[in-house]
Amino acid sequence: MRETAEPPIFGPESPALAPSHFPRVTHSRHLAKAVSWRILGSIDTLVLSFLLITFLGPLFGLEHDRGEAIKAASTIAITEVATKMVLYYLHEHGWEKLRWGIVLKGHRRIESYRRSTTKTATWRVLASLDTMVLAWIFTGNVATAVSIGGMEVLTKLALYFVHERAWARVPYGIISPAPSGEQETATA
């Protein structure tokens, strides 16, 4: 019995096979997602860093009073606003180039759970490495940095997946293709 070939992960093998009516996603949508995620992510990083520096830091030889701990946690969270905004925008833009895991229902663009899960995993690896480097720079302690980055994996995987699923329902910044002869319509 012959098996049917699976469709390629990164889109059609030939541009001629790509649907011409695929909705376009605007840069303003990428930016809005980056800002909303960064607010949520920075709050999580601030709280997590403070707790880990305060309570786990002494186990790794990092002695900070609460004032120093909040200063270090704030510096990590504020610095990552800049680094992660850039990284998130690039990650989001790169994923938009891949058509994998997106289906069209009428003029509506729907992202699959597999796509959201894979985006979550790739983003988390990139973002946790960024947090570990920043925590190492601002605490001077590798063990504390790894504990912050490691713990962040757990909290942010869940937060990011919820964020992705929420944005999958928001039409803002998705330009529906127009039937031939008409102009495209934007949802923002």
DSSP string, 71-136: HHHHHHHHHHHHHHHHHHHHHHHHHHH--TTEEEETTEEEE-HHHHHHHHHHHHHHHHHHHHHHHH
pLDDT beyond 80 at 22: no
- Structural domain containing residue 90: 22-186
Mean pLDDT of 10-29: 68
Q: How many domains does the chain have?
A: 1
Average pLDDT for the chain? 83
The verdict on residue 71 lying in a domain is yes
| Domain-embedded: residue 15 | no
Residue 7 pLDDT: 55
pLDDT tier for residue 9 given thresholds of 50, 70 and 90: low
Q: What is the pLDDT of residue 57?
A: 75
Claim: this prediction has a pTM higher than 0.75: no
Evaluate whether residue 121 is within a structural domain: yes
Measured from the Cβ of residue 1, the count of other Cβ atoms closer than 10 Å reads 2
Mean pLDDT of 157-172: 90
Give the mean pLDDT of 119-145. Answer: 91
For residue 11, tell me if it sits in a domain.
no
Residue 73 in this model has a pLDDT that exceeds 60: yes
